[in-house]
Amino acid sequence: MKKFLAEIDVMPKKEILDPQGKAVTGSMKNLGLSEIQNIRIGKHISLEIDADNAETANAKVDQACKSLLANLIMESYSFKLVEVA
């Protein structure tokens, strides 16, 4: 049994309005950082998973994203998996 670390990004889809990101983009201007634009805010999730090999770990993380971590109607996800032990 190996241990893997998954780093998952869950972001609002491009065609979906991101009001939180829009608000923070506006605040950047007040901070004198008007060069910063198009902020989009999503979730970053890190987790550990025990699996026999990278393929199994990959499939389990994908299942976790699909069934719980991401709302596929409004969000898309991507992840990286690294073996830690």
Judged by CB under 8 A, does residue 2 bind its own copies?
no
Q: Residue 22, interface with its own copies (CB under 8 A)?
A: no
63 token code pair: 């299942």
Residues whose CB falls within 8 Å of the CB of residue 77, separated by 6 or more in sequence, listed in order:
8, 9, 10, 11, 65, 69, 70
* 63-82 positions binding its own copies, by CB under 8 A: 63-64, 67-69
Chain positions contacting its own copies, by CB under 8 A: 7, 9-11, 21, 24-25, 27-28, 31, 33, 35-51, 60-61, 63-64, 67-69
